[in-house]
Amino acid sequence: MVENKEIIKVENNNTQSWEERLKKEAVFSPAVNVFENSDAYVLVADMPGVSKENIRIKLHKRELSIVGLVNFEELTNRKYILREISVGNYYRKFNLSDWIDEDNIDASFQNGQLKITLPKHERVKPRDIQIL
């Protein structure tokens, strides 16, 4: 469960802020799948080349932002023989419905995929009604 919706800035060797890097370096919108089950909506974002420590998730006024930083300098300064894969950081923003239980949002990162589980409020979950 995400206790604090403001993810702490990760310190790294680069002295530029996350915002400065997003302004100066190439940025891509990650490919995303969103699916639903009876309890939650699940967002899965592909972010190859990003480490868990370089992901930032922010929730502010029902807007969910995800940022993933790659080692841009290293990737762009390689001596490429063939280059078909674009290099850049990732950024995407989503507007959340009031059906989402913001206090219980959960996130994990594995194999280059960020998975964010957005639980539904109890009031919108399907339920059986008994006939009296």
Do residues 99 and 50 lie in contact, with contact meaning Cβ atoms separated by under 8 Å? no
Q: Would you state the pLDDT for residue 127? A: 78
Do residues 49 and 114 lie in contact, with contact meaning Cβ atoms separated by under 8 Å? no
Please report, for the chain, the start and end positions of each structural domain, with discontinuous segments joined by +.
18-122
CA atoms within 13 A on the CB side of 34: 7
The pLDDT mean for the chain works out to 84
pTM for the structure as a whole: 0.77
pLDDT by residue (tens digit) across 26-60? 788 999 999 999 899 999 999 998 999 999 999 99
Which H or E run contains 94? strand 89-95
- First and final CA of the chain: distance in angstroms? 38
Fold of 18-122: Immunoglobulin-like (2.60.40)
